[in-house]
């Protein structure tokens, strides 16, 4: 465990650490009924006609078996690394999920419309309840890195490991079809479905079916299960992950709709995680029940015998995976900055060439506007902001300076005169929630044309009246490239009304190819600077400085 100072303990280790899983009754009843129906059908079939016949698999040996058999080195190494990466993805994914512990099949994320939640709390209606308030604690024994509001570090582990997961998967599929090994897991006849059902009937009625020697082949149900893991669960996890990217969704809204919407994609992403975890549990159970020592020799040594070496080395491999969790925990809390920089080294150049090139495009109508939009962030406590708010911000002056030829101070009326526009866009929060709103304000390209930045100005810093999570004033930065993208606004209106205080009045930034923490609320002033390295701790923003968030969160 970790010893926190007072400020961090208040955030990471809250007094209320209750955990509860609530599932919408209709979902629970429907899912339970479907599972029960399949089990009952199995028992009825056995009661009427007895156990279905499964042809016995003859004992096979290398000298009389012509099909693919054995586990080549590349299969065995892929098996180990896939287990390593999947378990870390699951653990870091749990930490990410707990920062918004609700899952939906709608994009507005209205409290009460979730189909499952991992919190005993209902959102109160008598006071402002932010998405930060709604986050839950998760023990580091389960999640990586665990505790509360550790989503920045959790995302580092998630995205570093997803590279390993994808590379391992691509390598495995290439080798699979470059050899005869594909015939092990790809069904080539519809008869496999009948055989799989017959095998299921044996299992569900507590009868073990004839067990083939896995060194030479699998039974039909195993074959379908392995096919699903490789060709359904893996691609589904990757594709739904992409569907949660603000850069992708606000450029191609139709892509998220392939999954039923951005939040449906998030739910499917979670269900694929459960599918992987359930497969691991069942897979390990059956490996143990059908000859553990021999099965371990198959996948560890690539041999078909009863010696103990494969089992011993297998346990060592599992211990290595467990030890990696301990190392990850240590690194997370002792070297988080190095982790943050490692992720930037791995992903930043690729993002600049791919996701960051996408330009947001109109894709929503007024009918899509969310009935509820989660508030977030700490409201300003400065006396200056309170004084301005008391006068409806009529005395507010936006100061724009730094490396510009024409520094200005603009009132809200001045900003409106420069020419405001409206855009309906989907907001993506790093915590996981989303919402669609109509934002009206001054395009950043018009402000840039007014102040005329100098040639050395490569970054724009936005400073807030609001405080950061661990104290100090909130700020964030954007590259000149991103503030010149379509739909980048200094918003003064939301859904046709003056911007409410809780959502960032008098001004907030909208930059639709990135996550919400980059969209500074309660803007006090703007400065054009050479680089993000010149402000704060040099990471590009207050969340980047203190919570190890991404500099460029296109996903």
From CA 362, how far away is CA 426, in angstroms rounded? 10
Contact 534, 545 (CB under 8 A): no
Q: How does pLDDT run across 61-117, given as a tens digit for each residue?
A: 555 555 677 899 999 999 999 999 999 999 999 999 999 999 999 999 999 999 999
Residue 472: strand, helix, or coil: coil
Helix ranges restricted to H, 63-219:
73-97, 131-134, 151-178, 182-185, 191-204
User: Looking at the domain covering 359-546, what would its CATH class be?
Assistant: alpha beta
Burial 209-228 (b: 16+ CB within 10 A, else e): beebbbbbbbbbbbbbbbbe
Handedness of CA 503, 506, 511, 516 (dihedral sign): negative
Task: Please name the helix (run of DSSP H) or strand (run of DSSP E) that holds residue 235, with its range, or none.
Answer: helix 234-242
Domain residue spans of the chain: 6-332, 359-546
The three-class DSSP label of residue 434 is strand
Instruction: Say how far apart CA 74 and CA 78 lie, in whole Å.
Output: 6
pLDDT at 30: 97
Strands ordered across the beta sheet of 473-479: 408-410, 398-402, 523-529, 459-467, 473-479
The residues of the chain scoring below 70 in pLDDT are 1, 56-67
Query: How would you classify the pairing of strands 497-498 and 421-428?
Result: unpaired
**Number of residues in the chain:** 555
The tokens for 407 are 């520094």
CA distance 523 to 489: 12
Among 480, 496, 478, 514, smallest CA distance to 424 is for 496
Quick: pLDDT tens for 332-383: 999 999 999 999 999 999 999 999 999 999 999 999 999 999 999 999 999 9
pLDDT at res. 394: 96
Q: What token pair was written down for 202?
A: 């044996």
Q: What is the rounded distance in angstroms from the CA atom of residue 492 to the CA atom of residue 486? A: 17
Q: Which two three-digit tokens encode residue 57?
A: 């698999």
- Predicted TM-score (pTM) of the model is 0.94
Task: Phi first, then psi: give them for residue 70, nearest 5 degrees.
Answer: 80, 170
């Amino acid at each position: 465990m970790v010893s926190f100072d007072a400020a961090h303990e208040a955030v990471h280790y809250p007094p209320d650490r209750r955990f509860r899983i609530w599932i919408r009754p209709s979902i629970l009843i429907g899912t339970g009924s479907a599972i029960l129906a399949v089990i009952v059908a199995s028992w009825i079939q056995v009661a009427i006609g007895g156990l279905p016949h499964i042809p016995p698999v003859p004992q096979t040996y290398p000298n009389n078996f012509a099909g693919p058999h054995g586990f080549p080195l590349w299969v065995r190494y892929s098996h180990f690394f896939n287990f390593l990466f999947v378990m870390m993805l699951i653990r870091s994914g749990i930490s990410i999920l707990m920062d918004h512990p609700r899952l939906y099949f709608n994009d507005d994320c209205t409290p009460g419309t979730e189909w499952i939640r991992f919190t005993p709390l209902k959102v109160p209606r008598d006071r402002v309840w932010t998405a930060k308030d709604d986050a839950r604690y998760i023990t580091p024994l389960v999640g990586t890195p665990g505790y509360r509001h550790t989503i920045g570090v959790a995302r580092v582990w998630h995205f570093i490991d997803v590279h390993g997961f994808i590379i391992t998967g691509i390598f495995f599929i290439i080798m699979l079809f470059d050899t005869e090994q594909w015939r092990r897991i790809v069904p080539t006849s519809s008869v496999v479905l009948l055989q799989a059902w017959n095998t299921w009937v044996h299992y569900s009625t507590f009868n073990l079916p004839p067990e083939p020697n896995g060194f030479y082949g699998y039974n039909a149900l195993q074959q379908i299960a392995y096919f699903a893991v490789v060709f359904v669960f893996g691609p589904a996890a990757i594709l739904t992950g992409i569907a949660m990217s603000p850069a992708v969704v606000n450029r191609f809204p139709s892509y998220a709709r392939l999954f039923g919407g951005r939040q449906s994609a998030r739910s499917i992403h979670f269900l694929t995680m459960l599918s992987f975890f359930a497969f691991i549990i069942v897979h390990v159970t059956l490996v143990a029940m059908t000859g553990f020592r021999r099965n371990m020799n198959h996948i560890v040594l690539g041999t078909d015998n009863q010696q103990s070496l494969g089992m011993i080395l297998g346990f060592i491999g599992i211990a290595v995976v467990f030890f990696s969790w301990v190392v990850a925990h240590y690194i997370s809390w002792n070297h988080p900055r190095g982790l943050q920089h490692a992720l930037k080294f791995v992903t930043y150049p690729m993002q600049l060439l791919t996701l960051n090139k996408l330009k947001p495009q109109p894709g929503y109508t007024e009918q899509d506007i969310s009935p509820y939009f989660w508030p977030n962030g700490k409201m300003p406590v400065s006396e200056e902001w309170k004084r301005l708010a008391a006068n409806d911000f009529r005395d507010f002056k936006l100061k724009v300076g730094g490396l510009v030829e024409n520094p200005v101070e603009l009132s809200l009326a001045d900003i409106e005169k420069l020419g405001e526009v409206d855009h309906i866009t989907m907001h993506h929060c790093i915590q996981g929630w989303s919402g669609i709103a109509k934002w009206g304000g001054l395009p950043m390209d018009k402000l840039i044309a007014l102040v005329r930045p100098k040639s050395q100005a490569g970054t724009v810093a936005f400073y807030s009246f609001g405080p950061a999570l661990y104290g100090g004033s909130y700020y964030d930065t954007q590259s000149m490239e991103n503030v010149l993208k379509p739909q980048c606004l200094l918003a003064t209106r939301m859904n046709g009304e003056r911007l409410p205080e809780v959502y960032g009045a008098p001004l907030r930034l909208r930059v639709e190819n990135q996550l919400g923490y980059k969209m500074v609320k309660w803007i006090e002033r703007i400065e054009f600077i050479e680089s993000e390295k010149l402000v704060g701790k040099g990471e590009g923003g207050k969340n980047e400085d203190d919570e190890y968030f991404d500099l460029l969160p296109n996903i």
